[in-house]
Each structure stands twice: as structure tokens, then as C-alpha cells.
Structure 1
């Protein structure tokens, strides 16, 4: 029985060789663009935007997050996150508190109204999630999640 490791085939090196339909970053951006576009109308009815609901989503599972970390977790530019938090705070959906050990750093928390608002937004988000993964079985979904987590770790290794 041959125990040799199969030779790894080199990936194409130009976008022309790869093609858009095989270029994962392009596909990921298209998927998220469509997902966000599908949500916009439902969220608009609630007075929410995609950045607002992303912030509410992260805060619903990880309260007490710094503004910088929230910008990273939501994949929103710092300046947009600051404006988004100003609007959410004005709506009474979040509150910001200075950190005990460093008063220059502020942590963000959901208010009870914010938690309720996210609960109203979640069904539309979940429905779009289900549509996105229609016809994809558990094994395929699990493999995708493992792959995406590996990719995220690879990217984190290169962060400054």
C-alpha cells in the first residue's frame, strides 16, 4: 500500500486563471451582499439598518464589548460603528459605560429595549439564513463552518 502523501496541486495565481466563480473572497462578498440586501426592507420597517442589527446581534451574545472589538466583530469601520452606536443609544437600544480599569475605554451593552428589538429582527435574519442554506445538509454546513474558522485563524495570524 502506497503511504506517500499526494502532491498538492498549485492554485492558479491570477484572477483570470481562477475566475470569479471560483474566487472565494468574491463569492463570500456576493453572498453577504445578497443576504444584507434581503434583510434591508424588513429591518427598515423596524427603523433598523444592517450595521445597527449587526451590533445588536453581537451584543445579544457578548455584552460588555469595547467599541473597537464591536467594530471588529460586526465587520464595520470604526467611524461607521461610532455613528451607529450614537443612533442606537439615542433609540435607547444600547448603553455605553466607561471601563473600570481605563475610563478612556467604553464598553457597550444592550438595554432591555435593545434585546427586545433584536428579538423582533431575528426572525427575518433567521429566515434569510435558512434560505441561504436550503439544500445544504448538516455535513456540508459543518464542513463549511470548520473551513471558515480555519480561514479566520489564518487571517488573524497576519493581523498587525
Structure 2
């Protein structure tokens, strides 16, 4: 197995033209993500929410209290975007900041009842959009795709970053 990885990394890279842009996984994932996010944004407009606000509420609704850094990582936003989003959500009464009970130096964010209520109001439409994405895809294929994407993400998180350190 290690020899296969070594051989693959040592062989010359094919050209993008020979692979085909439509079959280049990062390009395809980006197209899917952009199309999905565009449809989500249209759906959220009636709830006076943006994609960053929706992702933040979804993460807090499912993961519980988190620090800004944890929330930014899970919602896939830079910390500056997350800070502006949290300020807006706090003004709307959808999130609140609290000191962590076990460490008063750490502030955590929690979803409020109003935030949970708005999340629950858009969740059915969000789930329908997600389910529609998989129309005609067998449940076993959906599960394999999700499993494969988790493995790809784990591989990317092990990839050396600048300075030779791995991202974990």
C-alpha cells in the first residue's frame, strides 16, 4: 500500500486537459457547492438570513456551545466573517455569548430559543433541497459518497501546510 502511494506521487502528473475539467473532483465539488449555496441563499432570503448566518445557526443547533474559533472551523468561514456574522445574529437575538462554566476566560456561543425557532423554520426546506440533490441516487451510493468525502477531508487535513506542519 505504501509503495502504491509512493509510486503515485513519483509518477508525472497528467495534464488537466487529459483528465478533463468536468471529472476533476475539486472543480466538481466547487460547482456543486456553488449551485447548492445559490439555491440556499435564495431560500433564506425570506427568513432575513444569509448563508453564514444559516451555517452558524445549524452548527450551534447541532453541536452545542462553541468558541468563535471552533464555530468558524465547523461553519467553514474565516474568523473575520464569523465575527461579523455573530454580531448580526446577536443583534437579532439568535445567539448569545456566555463565559464557559469550567473556564471563565473562555467565551462560548449558544443558540437562543429564537435562533432555534428560526433554524427549525428553514430546516425542512433546507432538507428538501439536500434530498433533491440525491434524486435518482441509491441510498447505498449516497452513503458511499459521504464516506468517501469524509476520507478525502481527513486526507486533506493530514496534508502538510506551509512550514511543513500538518493541519489537524
Range of TM-score over shorter length: 0.7 to 0.9
Displacement, 1:52? 0.3
Of 99-108 and 21-30, deviating more is: 99-108
Question: Aligned partners of 2:66, 2:46: CA distance in 1, in Å?
Answer: 27
Question: Residues 63-92 of structure 1: CA distance to partner in whole angstroms, max 9, x if unpaired?
Answer: 111111111111111100000000000000
Aligned pairs for 1:90-109 within 5 A:
90-109=91-110
Question: Aligned partners of 1:15, 1:137: CA distance in 2, in Å?
Answer: 30
Aligned to 1:4: none
Aligned pairs for 1:54-73 within 5 A:
54-73=55-74
Displacement, 1:106? 1.9
Question: Aligned partners of 1:124, 1:102: CA distance in 2, in Å?
Answer: 38
Residue ranges of structure 2 left out of the alignment (5+ in a row): 160-166
Question: Aligned partners of 1:103, 1:25: CA distance in 2, in Å?
Answer: 42
Root-mean-square deviation (CA), in Å? Answer: 2.0
Residue ranges of structure 1 left out of the alignment (5+ in a row): 1-6
Of 43-52 and 15-24, deviating more is: 15-24
Instruction: Indicate the structure whose relative CO is greater, using CA pairs within 8 Å and at least 6 residues apart.
Output: 1
Name the count of aligned residue pairs: 154
Question: Residues 108-144 of structure 1: CA distance to partner in whole angstroms, max 9, x if unpaired?
Answer: 1100000000001112211110111111011100110
Local SS of the residue matching 1:65: coil
Query: Under a length normalisation based on structure 2, what TM-score does the superposition of the two structures give?
Result: 0.84
Aligned to 1:22: 23
Question: Residues 5-46 of structure 1: CA distance to partner in whole angstroms, max 9, x if unpaired?
Answer: xx8995853323322111111111110111110111221111
Aligned to 1:149: 150
Aligned to 2:86: 85
Displacement, 1:146? 1.0
